[in-house]
């Protein structure tokens, strides 16, 4: 495994993200409430640049006729056809079998690193 540092933590404030090129891969690094997550900038449906998609939340499990919004800023919606993925895991919201690659991150001395070889 190798850690690739992609910038200072202040460059990616909470609620924002940055797309970087690391080891020949395009990867989006997201700051969700002070924690960093990294996903492949590639949609498994037809290859869209996933990280150009809106960051949003979703409806949570609830009763019939009850709509509860939650997980704000934890979901990315593909810009081409709207498939939605959990930024924390790379998993789609509609199937456990559909996902984009995700990577572990770490912060060392104020620098955000992506751990290549740690694909989750
Ligand atoms: S390319 Fe992402 S949903 Fe179609």
CB burial of residue 64 (10 Å; 0-12, 13-18, 19+): exposed
Overall pTM > 0.75: yes
pLDDT of 120 reads 67
Tens digit of pLDDT at every position of the chain (120 positions)? 899 999 999 999 999 999 999 989 999 999 999 999 999 999 999 999 999 999 999 999 999 999 999 999 999 999 999 999 999 999 999 999 999 999 999 999 999 999 998 676
Cα separation, 26 vs 43, whole angstroms? 12
Q: Which two tokens stand for residue 68?
A: 């509860």
CA 112 to chain CA centroid, Å, is 14
**Residue 112: which domain range?**
2-116
State which of 81, 90, 94, 99 you would mutate to test the pocket of ligand 1, scoring each by most atoms of that ligand within 8 A of its C-beta: 81
Whole-number pLDDT of residue 17: 98
Structural domains counted in the chain: 1
Q: How far apart are CA 15 and CA 37, in angstroms?
A: 12
Taking a C-beta distance cutoff of 8 angstroms, is the pair 105, 2 a contact?
A: no
What is the whole-number distance in angstroms between the Cα of residue 110 and the centre of ligand 1? Answer: 34
CATH number, residue 15: 2.102.10.10
């Amino acid at each position: 495994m190798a850690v690739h540092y992609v910038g200072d933590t202040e460059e990616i404030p909470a609620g924002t993200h940055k797309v970087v090129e690391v080891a020949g891969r395009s990867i989006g690094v997201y700051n969700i409430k002070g924690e960093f997550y990294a996903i492949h900038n590639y949609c498994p449906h037809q290859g869209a640049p996933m990280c150009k998609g809106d960051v949003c939340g979703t409806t949570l499990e609830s009763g019939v006729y009850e709509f509860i919004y939650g997980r704000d800023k934890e979901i990315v919606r593909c810009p081409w056809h709207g498939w939605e993925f959990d930024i924390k895991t790379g998993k789609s919201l509609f199937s456990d079998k559909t996902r984009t690659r995700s990577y572990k991150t770490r912060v060392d001395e104020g620098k955000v690193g992506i751990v290549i070889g740690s694909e989750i």
